Chain A
Amino acid sequence: MLGSTIINRRQHVGLQKLSALAGITHSSLGPHKKYKFIQDDRSGESALVCSCFRILENLELTCAVGQLVYQTIQVHQKVYHTGSGCLLFLAGAWSRVALECLQRGISVAHIISAMSEGLDICFDVCRKFNISTEGFGAEQSQSSKVTSQDLGLQVSKKLTMEGSQAWTGLKGNTRDALKTLNACGQKKIRLSRHFCEAKSENISNELEEHQPKHPDIKYISERLSHGCVDAMNLVFEASRTQSNSIQQDTSCPTFDITKVMTCVLPGLPEEQACVTPGCILLLSAEQASVAHHLKDQLLKVVLINGDLSFNYSHLGFKRPTGIQRVSEETALSSSSKEEDWMEKVVMLLLNLEVDLILVSGLVSEKVIQRCSRHHILALEKVNVSVLKGLADASGAVPVTYATQLSKHCVGAGVKVAIWRDLSSYERKPSIAVNISTGVNSKLVTVVLTSCIEGKLQALEDQFWACAYRLHLALKEKALLPGAGVTEMLCIHHLQKQAERDSSQQTKEAAVANPYRSVVLHLMADGLIDYLSTVMVNTGKFSKVQAWTAVSQQLQACNQSPGVLSKFSELFLEAEKEGRAMSLPVKSPDAPSTNVFDNLSVKQEAWRKASDLVFLVLQTDAEVITGIDQKTEAAQGNLTLL
């Protein structure tokens, strides 16, 4: 059976749901996130969450819009690890824009075309105002004050650059302008497409005189922390450890995120979080003595991708069920067969002089015991990417069964060090060891600690968010001005375009889309809502105050564009104070006067937010299959086919 609900056109239920869903996550927006408890009334279980993605993950969303939202956020999180809050907030804000438009009687087609144009305006802003990271902060880090002014100058300069007249005006003093900009480090401005090749040649000529400068990772990372200073410090440490461990070549510094792993240790205070080269694994007390025996030697290692136990068989292997054993004598019991297998494996390991076995799956208790007796350390649940890294570094060839091992599978040059004795923190005694291959391995472990076990996931999420921000910044070699400046520019441009539309009502424009001005204005309001919510989350503003502050800045910006940099100061002032309050340990004079955002993260989040709005806006009915006509036909809002 099939039923369908026709949604009231003017009060689009789907858009209302989208807006309501987005409302749940308002408090997790911006650098000042608040924790939330999500409690399951039936089981009594609860979860402590602080990011938009984790909130949605813990809610059981069964409705169509809920599924759509979760699906989108999940993919975004998987690829970018950051920006989900912004995505959902804007999906909510823009769904209210669409609702408002519907109420004013604007057709769906017009809403969609105008909102797409609005989005294009925002992307244009991103294209114009993104900042190349080349040589970024190479010399700036000494005086952060200069940089903040510098950025202000740059942004304002760019604002005035708009329009083609500006270009001709600028052409004359390009060199001067660039010189002032480049005075303290070759900050290359990536210009809009109107500024063609000739310009970039100019810059490259000037750059040739200097040694090519690589972006200062410290400088960038500090400005991408977005309030997670501790997490970002760990990311910076991790990247430094990576560059130290490989021979520095002259190529641009990257941050190989695939070689970073996290290890969470509950029970230790948060300040003890740290970064170590190599891989940290936890051991039981029985194996501790073996580890002590092996420490600080160059070891022979084998890698097993699977379980190390008698009963294990590879994926896709089916144990035959129809086998009967016919025999005159008493058959060997399975335990003695296991004994045979064990004997064979141990002999093999001893012959190959193996000291260390790293297994991606589980290791049976018996194997661990037997190996320990022969001073062989068998470690289970090792991440597959770690196995891959160690295989590359040590020359070991991963196998599935221990019986497959032969001489060429054995890797050499691996070290085991006792990293820490955790006996005093854990209920049962255990130690943590560090497995490393010495030089030329980028493998880095970040140890995250907290006295509160429920907080560990949030800390891990924050770490990965920061790690991906830095990784993406280095990959894309471009950043956007952060702390709301990009959004302010977008609002400014949206409003300007809207005013242009309403003032010069040309006939063609009217035929194309008479409502563009209305929609653009509303979209800009959505972004203002975003900024003011972030400001409210700092705890320094009320919603009204925040809204007023933003609109005052916008007015000032309309009069003289240079003022925009002041806005970021206002924004950051609040943030700095807020941070000083929440983390009294940190010195308040940390050099964090300006902030950047990732280019692709922001653009993708905006695009995906508009995708959600468009999908939901265009949906006018739900088709439900498998409805029992007798029982459910009574429900008034269903029409049966």
Chain B
Amino acid sequence: MSRFVKKSPSICTDRPLDNTDVCTKLRLLKQLLRSCFGPTGRLKHVHNNIGGHVVTTSTSSVLLTAATSSQPLINLIKSSILHHVSRFSDCGLFAAVLCLSLIEEAKQCGLRRNVNKHLLGVCTAYLQQEDCGCKVPLDFCSSQDLITLSRSVVSSKPACVLTEAEALHISRLAVRAFLLTVPCNSPGTVTLGRIVSVGVEGHPVLNSEVFPGLLVEMHDVFCLKTAENLRSEPLRVVLFSASLAGDLSELGDGIIQVHPGVDTDSQILDQLLELCERVIEDGVKLFVCQKVIHPVLQQYLRRHGVIVMERVGISLMEPLALLTGALPVATLHTTIPAKAYGTVKEVSVKEFGSKTMLHLEPSGESAICTMILCHRNETMLSELKVVCQQTEHVLRLTLREPSALLGGGCTETHLAAYIRHKSMEEVTEKASALGCSQTEYLLGVEGFCRSLESVAAALHHDGGNSLIDLTHAHHWTLPADAMTENMEDSSGLCCGCGLVKSGPKVDMKWTHLNTEHPQFSPAAVLKDRPVQPHVLDSFTAKINALQVAVETANLVLDVRFVIQDTN
């Protein structure tokens, strides 16, 4: 085959970060993501260019999935952030904003050798320390810390449009659901259960609820007839993943030749009826199928007092198998072994809005629960669902590492202060170890710390001022339109995470972020303080986000050429 168009040569960009187009795009991406950050972040309408469905959101996973660029560098950043989000759910925007700030800072001071990797090591080492000033151990004896943690996640997404009471209700539900997924007394390796969430549109958020077990929607109004006379004794369950519609769906494109007198449909149906007969003989009282069940079978089963559930869908199959202990039957041609049957303790009917659902309760311990999420419109409901999944994930991560970091920007400012202090102490040996001059080293440190602080400052979207106190290096906010000029004059304020309060008795000095101040060693807030932090971030997610941000930024800074095939 001959070519009609001559192949055009590849385009090679030398030092892509010096290219204005690349810089504009990086700045735009930063502006886009930075404006979404935090509980007062701005939302974005995401839609395609032909007037398709509009999503209103501020979550990084949705935004970054939608963002595709012609710039490979941007796609590189995007994919590494998305990868982080897929593993940890939280701190996606933090990672993105930090990464883009680091790139900007490094570009501005024009350092050839960057010290970011070394500083990342200092950060992680500090965060892993017992006496780290921005880490709080989680207390599993009370649900308070877990609720605070989940509330911080829930209220960080303004597109949910929740009132205070609603946010608290959802956070509590998330914690309750999480606790239900932790099995209590199973020996050996513990496997966490599942949370299945069901959305109900148009109803008040406070109607949202969590139930142990599974709630499965009933499609057919006539199914209820048998379900109404439910017993509360354990029921034997069979679970089919194969279709029982009575057609030859397994045939594919093949051809079968049959005698004209043969009625294939009724023969298949007879076979299915035989199968059902055996199932009934085995004492099954709840018959569940992922796909369609032939109406004749349904009628037959119901007449024998069996509750029938069809079309439950693939997503519910795994939770159903976990809950009942049944093995999904994928073929219709063998007898069903006894061990394939499962049990449920109780079946009842529950109604939510226009949805009628069958509530299956496990007979043993199963760690499966269903979260019914209600919200007033579709946009807010879909954001709420995303947020609840995030919360679930964040809570799970606490089992791996039972600590949390202070939220509200306090971790960032505290870390920055710590690094400034630490690197001043050991400037000579570190500079020589890294093979750079002391000035270069300090410039690098300054850039890194400024990037961290700029993430804390990104929490403001209404022109507020960021300050730090010179004792604990926590993050404070002075609203743009506040009556007072200085923090010293205003009393009763508290820092971003809520652990430190200002007042007449407290002797504290404040300074604006990004202003010259003498470096100091930030003191940890006394551990036995009665005050609990109001905002907590996931430890595991944040520490990973920090690593992803720094490593991605380093990678981007190291790119010398971009070679693009334009064909």
- List A residues at the B interface (Cβ < 8 Å): 1-2, 4, 6, 62-64, 67-68, 71-72, 75-76, 78-79, 107-110, 116, 305-306, 314-320, 322-327, 329, 331-332, 384-385, 388, 391, 397-401, 404, 408, 507-508, 510-511, 514-515, 604, 607-608, 611, 614-615, 618-629, 632, 639-641
Expressed in whole angstroms, the Cα–Cα distance for A305 and B221 within the complex equals 11
Is the C-beta of B283 less than 8 angstroms from some C-beta in chain A? no
Q: Give 15 A-B contacts (CB < 8 Å), ordered by A residue.
A: A6-B31, A62-B51, A67-B53, A68-B56, A71-B379, A109-B462, A305-B222, A320-B256, A323-B248, A324-B257, A325-B257, A398-B222, A615-B380, A620-B43, A623-B66
Are A317 and B43 within 8 A (Cβ)?
A: no
Known: A316-B292, A618-B158. A625 touches B255 (CB 8 A): no
Expressed in whole angstroms, the Cα–Cα distance for A511 and B29 within the complex equals 34
Q: B240 to nearest A CB, angstroms? A: 13
User: What chain A residues lie within 8 Å of B54 (beta carbons)?
Assistant: 64, 67-68
Are B49 and A626 within 8 A (Cβ)?
A: yes
Complex: chain A residue closest to B65, CB-CB: A625
Known: A615-B159, A621-B32. A317 touches B247 (CB 8 A): yes
Complex: chain B residue closest to A2, CB-CB: B67
Are A401 and B53 within 8 A (Cβ)?
A: no
User: What chain B residues lie within 8 Å of A62 (beta carbons)?
Assistant: 51
Are A404 and B40 within 8 A (Cβ)?
A: no
Are A64 and B264 within 8 A (Cβ)?
A: no
Known: A107-B463, A320-B247, A615-B56. A64 touches B255 (CB 8 A): no
Expressed in whole angstroms, the Cα–Cα distance for A400 and B222 within the complex equals 11
Partner of B264, one of A314, A320, A507: A320
Q: Which 4 A-B pairs have the closest CB atoms?
A: A316-B292, A107-B462, A400-B295, A62-B51
Are B43 and A314 within 8 A (Cβ)?
A: no
Expressed in whole angstroms, the Cα–Cα distance for A17 and B124 within the complex equals 48
Binary interface encoding of chain B residues 42-63 relative to chain A, with 1 for a CB under 8 A from any of its CBs, else 0: 1111111111011010000001
Are A1 and B42 within 8 A (Cβ)?
A: no
Are B260 and A608 within 8 A (Cβ)?
A: no
Are B378 and A75 within 8 A (Cβ)?
A: yes
Expressed in whole angstroms, the Cα–Cα distance for A641 and B72 within the complex equals 11
Partner of B161, one of A404, A508, A615: A615
Q: A242 to nearest B CB, angstroms? A: 20
Complex: chain A residue closest to B50, CB-CB: A626
Are B243 and A316 within 8 A (Cβ)?
A: yes
Q: B203 to nearest A CB, angstroms? A: 7
User: What chain B residues lie within 8 Å of A109 (beta carbons)?
Assistant: 40, 461-462
Beyond A621-B45, A623-B63, 17 additional contacts (C-beta under 8 Å) are A6-B31, A67-B53, A68-B377, A78-B202, A79-B353, A109-B40, A314-B294, A315-B292, A316-B245, A316-B311, A320-B251, A323-B248, A608-B376, A615-B56, A619-B44, A622-B46, A632-B49
Binary interface encoding of chain B residues 301-324 relative to chain A, with 1 for a CB under 8 A from any of its CBs, else 0: 001000000010000000000000
Is the C-beta of B249 less than 8 angstroms from some C-beta in chain A? yes
Is the C-beta of B393 less than 8 angstroms from some C-beta in chain A? no
User: What chain B residues lie within 8 Å of A79 (beta carbons)?
Assistant: 202-203, 353
Q: B443 to nearest A CB, angstroms? A: 30
Known: A109-B462, A624-B47. A324 touches B258 (CB 8 A): yes
Q: A184 to nearest B CB, angstroms? A: 35
Complex: chain B residue closest to A384, CB-CB: B221
Are A316 and B291 within 8 A (Cβ)?
A: yes
Expressed in whole angstroms, the Cα–Cα distance for A103 and B42 within the complex equals 18
Q: B34 to nearest A CB, angstroms? A: 11
Q: A437 to nearest B CB, angstroms? A: 17
Are B28 and A641 within 8 A (Cβ)?
A: yes
Partner-contacting stretch, out of B131-139, B480-488, B506-514, B531-539: B480-488
Expressed in whole angstroms, the Cα–Cα distance for A63 and B47 within the complex equals 9
Expressed in whole angstroms, the Cα–Cα distance for A317 and B310 within the complex equals 13
Known: A508-B492, A611-B380. A620 touches B42 (CB 8 A): yes
Binary interface encoding of chain B residues 254-296 relative to chain A, with 1 for a CB under 8 A from any of its CBs, else 0: 1111111000100000000000000000000000000110111
User: What chain B residues lie within 8 Å of A324 (beta carbons)?
Assistant: 255-258
User: What chain A residues lie within 8 Å of B46 (beta carbons)?
Assistant: 622-623, 625
Are A320 and B248 within 8 A (Cβ)?
A: yes
Expressed in whole angstroms, the Cα–Cα distance for A608 and B67 within the complex equals 30
Partner of A614, one of B25, B35, B63, B161: B161
Complex: chain A residue closest to B380, CB-CB: A611
Expressed in whole angstroms, the Cα–Cα distance for A67 and B51 within the complex equals 10
User: What chain B residues lie within 8 Å of A332 (beta carbons)?
Assistant: 260
User: What chain A residues lie within 8 Å of B251 (beta carbons)?
Assistant: 320, 322
Are B202 and A108 within 8 A (Cβ)?
A: no
User: What chain A residues lie within 8 Å of B44 (beta carbons)?
Assistant: 4, 619-623
Complex: chain A residue closest to B63, CB-CB: A623
Is the C-beta of B566 less than 8 angstroms from some C-beta in chain A? no
Is the C-beta of B437 less than 8 angstroms from some C-beta in chain A? no
Q: B379 to nearest A CB, angstroms? A: 6
Expressed in whole angstroms, the Cα–Cα distance for A342 and B483 within the complex equals 87
Are A71 and B377 within 8 A (Cβ)?
A: yes
Are B67 and A641 within 8 A (Cβ)?
A: yes
User: What chain A residues lie within 8 Å of B74 (beta carbons)?
Assistant: 641
Are B43 and A604 within 8 A (Cβ)?
A: no
Partner of A401, one of B43, B51, B295: B295
Are B45 and A76 within 8 A (Cβ)?
A: no
Are B48 and A624 within 8 A (Cβ)?
A: yes
Are B296 and A629 within 8 A (Cβ)?
A: no
- Interface centre among B31, B161, B256, B258, by most chain A C-beta atoms within 10 angstroms, is B161
User: What chain B residues lie within 8 Å of A64 (beta carbons)?
Assistant: 45, 47, 54, 56
Q: B344 to nearest A CB, angstroms? A: 25
Are B255 and A322 within 8 A (Cβ)?
A: yes
Expressed in whole angstroms, the Cα–Cα distance for A322 and B255 within the complex equals 4
- Interface centre among A64, A108, A508, by most chain B C-beta atoms within 10 angstroms, is A64
Binary interface encoding of chain B residues 352-386 relative to chain A, with 1 for a CB under 8 A from any of its CBs, else 0: 01100000000000000000000011111000000
Q: A532 to nearest B CB, angstroms? A: 27
User: What chain B residues lie within 8 Å of A615 (beta carbons)?
Assistant: 43, 56, 159, 161, 379-380
Are A326 and B257 within 8 A (Cβ)?
A: yes
Is the C-beta of B253 less than 8 angstroms from some C-beta in chain A? yes
Partner of B68, one of A67, A116, A625: A625
Are B303 and A408 within 8 A (Cβ)?
A: yes
Expressed in whole angstroms, the Cα–Cα distance for A79 and B74 within the complex equals 44
Q: B297 to nearest A CB, angstroms? A: 10
Q: A354 to nearest B CB, angstroms? A: 17
User: What chain B residues lie within 8 Å of A110 (beta carbons)?
Assistant: 462, 481
User: What chain B residues lie within 8 Å of A511 (beta carbons)?
Assistant: 482-483, 490, 492-493
Expressed in whole angstroms, the Cα–Cα distance for A64 and B25 within the complex equals 24
Are A317 and B47 within 8 A (Cβ)?
A: no
Are B256 and A626 within 8 A (Cβ)?
A: no
User: What chain A residues lie within 8 Å of B186 (beta carbons)?
Assistant: none
Is the C-beta of B8 less than 8 angstroms from some C-beta in chain A? no
User: What chain B residues lie within 8 Å of A640 (beta carbons)?
Assistant: 25, 70
Are A322 and B378 within 8 A (Cβ)?
A: no
Known: A64-B56, A398-B222. A323 touches B264 (CB 8 A): yes
User: What chain A residues lie within 8 Å of B41 (beta carbons)?
Assistant: 618
Binary interface encoding of chain B residues 219-249 relative to chain A, with 1 for a CB under 8 A from any of its CBs, else 0: 0011001000000000000000001011111
Binary interface encoding of chain B residues 181-200 relative to chain A, with 1 for a CB under 8 A from any of its CBs, else 0: 00000000000000000000
Known: A2-B68, A619-B42. A611 touches B377 (CB 8 A): yes
Known: A322-B255, A327-B259. A388 touches B222 (CB 8 A): yes
Known: A315-B292, A626-B48, A641-B74. A107 touches B299 (CB 8 A): no
Known: A71-B379, A320-B251, A514-B483. A325 touches B258 (CB 8 A): yes
- Interface centre among B54, B70, B292, by most chain A C-beta atoms within 10 angstroms, is B54
Are B296 and A404 within 8 A (Cβ)?
A: yes
Expressed in whole angstroms, the Cα–Cα distance for A404 and B353 within the complex equals 33
User: What chain A residues lie within 8 Å of B42 (beta carbons)?
Assistant: 108, 618-621
Are A619 and B43 within 8 A (Cβ)?
A: yes
Expressed in whole angstroms, the Cα–Cα distance for A483 and B190 within the complex equals 61
Partner of A639, one of B28, B221, B481: B28
Partner of B70, one of A1, A329, A614: A1
